[in-house]
Structures are given as structure tokens and as C-alpha cells.
Structure 1
């Protein structure tokens, strides 16, 4: 009996020692790295135009699939879509927007709506008024912003779609609807245009969070100038949106500056922040993945849990679609390794 007890003790000691040396025996469920509601997404506003021209998309196994499914399988939970007032070719008008938003909704993806308030691109270098608004003064422009915003939001609502986030303007570094709404000429006008959009959005969907979106997320002085101006004019907004397009050489330093800026925005205005656009050369996929891994974790680390998420701009572009080379799909129409950054949970 003593011998049996001794053997039993020896076996127990051996078992314990082995379990400490065997990583499989001590496995625990991996802890999540991101907040449960962290936004991982992409702007794919070109998708319907691309499909009409015969462009197809493939998963990493080489099987043709719907782009939205490929993105979802890569860990994305949100689709960003732009809307123009009266674009010449119809793409990104209200009907095209609704069609894409329905696809996103049916795929179980959240929606970020991006109002450009133009017939074409609005960005730091151009904020052109829609042709139909070209002769309007600031009073009429505020009404047009309100009416257009309500009309688009209502078109979505009629299809059972409620955008979780809505941008009032796109990369409005110097305001929008130039020259009446150019911030460097009249910050008050710009602030009132933002307020018109904000009020219109909330009148249709009180739960949608309103974003004011500025490029160069590393440029703290630019952000302080814009948002001090909005605050001083009594403007309302919910989220501070940023763009970030670093190079392969400077992404680490720009990511650090962007994080500092995000934390400053939270401390200064008490608002949430989101990186609404990112991109890097499609041919530099490995470096792009490192950039994305880092900015996703940095955004998630923003103080008080106010870093909402990161979205890639038009990753589905390949073979230099429309000359754009910052996508994240390879020449065969499959996601590059950069897209694996969004698989993080």
C-alpha cells in the first residue's frame, strides 16, 4: 500500500511538472485586443461602378465572391459610402448609395455615410458647390444642406437603413461649399453649415453619430484650429474624423503623432475620434499591414475608450483602377496580406 501511495504521488508530481512545460495543457481562451464595438471597415463607394465594368473580386482561395462578403470574412464590420448631390454619371448619387447600403445591411454590416455636399470630389483642395447651388448665398446654402441631408437620410430610412455614423462634409480642412463656407474666410459660415447638417441628421435619426472629418490626422494645429472654430461658434458634433495616408518611410512617426492628436482631441473637446480613411501603396502590402496593425491598436488605446475605429479607403481597387494605387487587393483581384490586419479581435 505504501508503495502504491508513493507511486501515485510521483505520478502526480510528474503530471504537474509536465503540464507546466506543455503549452497546450495551459491554454486559455485568447483575450480580446479590441473593444467589442471597435469599427473595422472600408469605403467601397466605387464597387457598383467597378462591377458594371466587369471587375470581379476573389477571396484568397481564388474563388469569386461578393466584395462585401470578402471584406466581412477579413474581419470588417462596417462599410463607408459617399454621396454626391447630382454627379454627372450617376455614380454615388442617392439611388446608387441606397443600393450599396442595402447590400451592406443585408450582409450584417454597419454603415458610415459620407456627405460631400458637391457633385463630385470634396477634399482639402476642392470644396465645390453643386451646380444647382452655385448662385446661393450662405442662408440658402444652409437650407440646401439641410434639405439634401434630410432627403438622403429619409431615402435610407425608407429602406430600413439607419447609418450608425454620418459625416457632414469630407476632409473639410478649410471648410466646405467654397467660398461662402471656406473656414479661413468665414469660420462662422462654415460652423453654421455643419450645424445645418447636424440638425438634419438628428431630425431623421437621433441615434446616428455626426462626424466632422479632417485630413492629416497627425496635424494637431489644424485640428485645433478647425474644432476651436466650431466650438466657439456653438456648433454640435459627436465624433472627430481623420484621414491618414503615410508613406512606407514615415508611417511609424505619423501613427504616433496621430495618436497624440487623438488623445488631445478627446481631452480638449470630450468627443470620440475615428480614423475614417487610411491607405498605402498596394505593392507594399507587408509594410501596409504593419502600419494598419499599429494604427488599429493605437486607435483602440485612445483615452477613455473614445477611439472608435479605422476604415480603409477603397481597398478593392486593383490594377490601378482609375489610377488609384493605394488599394489593398493584388493584380489578380484578391486581398493582399495588408487586409489581414482587420482580422484582429
Structure 2
């Protein structure tokens, strides 16, 4: 989400602390079950996703932010991104946000622009009225009185309704995330995975209902379960082992990666190891759903992205689907975010050159 904290392995045990993006979660020893599916059998002909999450674009435009190409010519953001090699757009969905941004109406408007630019679309359901991440999975206000069983069924009905709205507006997403950075489940406390086996079962049932709703509306869309810190194999195995044990379904293991300027090479290598393990262990494809680095280090960010894109492409069996930069268009510390990839004049930095292909 908006704030990024990269933590050492020792801090991964601090689930009880307040967390934001790239936050901690409880470690549980995973089972050792191997998937019977072969990695090669999963390979897809889908074009690699050179992606950006630009969910802030309409809000920024409403605040009179403008965007410029590398030559300094003002253009629509989607036009600029397409010229940089971006082929796919990720958009978050909030249930009933107080200011309206990221509700389904706003998402439809942005998705139409992405589709008009010829881009594939990833829809990212937060199942909240605001940011959902490893430290915050707050129920929508309208859902707070629901029983656990009603919450689980509402995941289906809400997902189905929102996707039908997109469909009626001519939008067909290529991928759909059921939850955002669900490293400890979602819709807390009912679906908080670390609380108990019952809560983990609730989370798995929520994921399954989201999966079924996606397939009911868009049978060909790939369903993503997205977790933070895609370099941490222990915690990644914990969440996906649990989902498998309790009967959830998903197609893609999605990750966030936010390294520092000094540790990105190590993080990238650990991420590749983790991605290959997901393919082997669960028979799933993988994707970097969020990536970012300090805007003041664009050359280093370019190196980080170039390397990580190559590593995603090298995943066994061709099962690395793509990489999305998170809110590259955010400049001048928009909303306090400092990991965009546009400079203070509203032009893309050299970091975005990593998406050329």
C-alpha cells in the first residue's frame, strides 16, 4: 500500500505489532507436501505482463496533476505508459471508500481507459473501504455486523456483482486478485489466519468463494492470491500450505517486492528461489503484483527492475507471468508516497526504461 517497511527475518515473528506494506506475520512450520503437477504443464502463451498499478490516476488528475512524456510533452498517463512499454494495468477496488476513489465506478472509468489503450487489466479486490495489507485487513463498514458465514458468502456476492459491473461496461480482466497482501488472511478477525485453525479455514473459504465468483463471471481470468515479501519462503509457504490444506483454490501466487537500494540484488535472488518453489510445490504460476524503490535512486531502480523482470521470465516452465510497478506516476510525494518512478516535473525517470521490450 502507501507505506513500505522492509524487515529483517528476525522481525517476521512480530505479528502482534502494527504493520504496513511489507509487514510481519507469524511463522508456522509448513507441511512438506509436494504438488503432483509438473511445472512445465503450467506454461502459458499469455504475453508477459509489463505492468503498472495506477489506481491513483483519477484522484491525481482531480487535484490538477499533469503527466508528461520523456520529451516534456503533456499526455494522457496511459499513453505515456504504453510508450514506455507498459502492457498491463492493475487497479484496486475498495467497497465503499469515504471519498469515492477506487470504488467500482472509479475503477470502471480507469479500466475503460486501460482497455482503450490496448492494455490487459488486473483487478485487485481489497475487501475493505480502505488500504488492506499485512497489518490492516479491516472489514468494510457495511459488513461489520455480519456473521462469519455471511462474510464468507458476501465475498462471493460482492465479487460477482463488481465483476459483472465491469463486464457490462465491456471490461474483461486478465487477472483478478482475491485480497490484497493477504499474508495473514483478510476480513479480520474472522479471516485472520494466524489466530486459529478455524480462522485459517475461514480465510480459505473466503478465497474459495472469491475464486468461484471470478470464474462464474470470467472463466478465463486467472485468480491471484497476493502476499507481501515475496522473498521470504518460510512465510510464503505457511500461507499457501494453509490455503491448500483448507481447500482454497487459486491460479497464481502473487508477491510484493520493495527492496532498498543496497539489498535489491539479494532480494531478487531470494524472490526467484521462492517463485520456483511455488511452481514446484503447488503447481501454480507466479507474478510480481507490486514492486517499487525510492524515487531518488532511479538508476538503481532501473537495475533492480531489469534484473527482477529477467528473473520472473526465467521461472521454471515459463510460469512467471509478469511484474507490476506500484503507482509509478505518483510524484512530488503524492499522498506521502516516495517510491514512484516519475520525477518532480511529472516525467518518467530512467527507472521506467526497464519496461522497454
After TM superposition, the score normalised by the length of structure 1 is 0.89
Question: What is residue 302 of structure 1 aligned with on the other side?
Answer: 315
Q: Choose which of 272, 276, 292 in structure 1 pairs with 2:285.
A: 272
The CA deviation at 1:307 is 0.4
1:317-340 Cα deviation digits (max 9, x unpaired): 110001100000001000000000
Moved more, 180-189 or 287-296: 180-189
- Say whether residues 1:329 and 2:339 are aligned partners: no
Task: State the 1:138 CA deviation.
Answer: 1.3
Which one of 37, 54, 67 corresponds to residue 64 of structure 2?
Answer: 54
Q: Which residue matches 1:67?
A: 77
State whether structure 2 residue 192 is matched by structure 1 residue 170. Answer: no
Q: Which runs of 5+ in 1 are unaligned?
A: 1-34
1:151 and 1:136 map into 2 onto residues whose CA distance is 18
SS at match of 1:265: helix
Q: Which residue of 2 aligns with 1:26?
A: none
Higher Rg: 1
* C-alpha displacement of 1:147: 1.1
- Say yes or no: does 1:340 pair with 2:350: no
Select the residue among 208, 230, 240 that pairs with 2:253: 240
Q: What secondary structure, in the 3-state scheme, does the structure 2 residue paired with 1:211 have?
A: strand
- Report the equivalent of 1:22: none
- The total of aligned residue pairs comes to 310
Return the structure number with greater helix share. 1
Q: Which whole-Å deviations, capped at 9, do the CAs of 1:11-43 have from their partners, x for residues lacking one?
A: xxxxxxxxxxxxxxxxxxxxxxxx871110100
State the shift of 1:249 in Å.
0.6
Query: Which residue of the partner structure matches residue 50 of structure 2?
Result: 40
Mapping for residues 160-309 of structure 1, pairs under 5 Å: 160-185=170-195, 186-309=199-322
The alignment status of 1:153 with 2:153, answered yes or no, reads no
The SS at the match of 2:51 is: strand
The structure-2 alpha-carbon separation of the partners of 1:184 and 1:58, relative to structure 1 and needing over 3 Å to count, comes to: same
Give the Å deviation of 1:160.
Answer: 1.2
Q: CA deviation at 1:137?
A: 1.7
- CA deviations 1:184-227 (Å, max 9, x no partner) are 12211100000010011111010110000000000101110011
User: Could you state the TM-score of these two structures normalised by the residue count of structure 2?
Assistant: 0.86
Runs ≥4 in structure 1, deviation > 4 angstroms? none
Is 1:109 the equivalent of 2:122?
no
Give the whole-Å Cα distance in 1 for the aligned partners of 2:188 and 2:331: 33
By relative contact order (CA 8 Å, sep 6+), the higher-ranking structure is 2
* Other structure's SS at 1:282 match: coil
Aligned counterparts of 1:69 and 1:241: Cα–Cα separation in 2: 26
Query: What is the aligned partner in structure 2 of residue 12 from structure 1?
Result: none
Distance (whole Å) between structure 2 residues aligned to residue 224 and residue 143 of structure 1: 26
Gapped runs of 5+ residues in structure 2? 1-44
Aligned counterparts of 1:76 and 1:63: Cα–Cα separation in 2 = 18
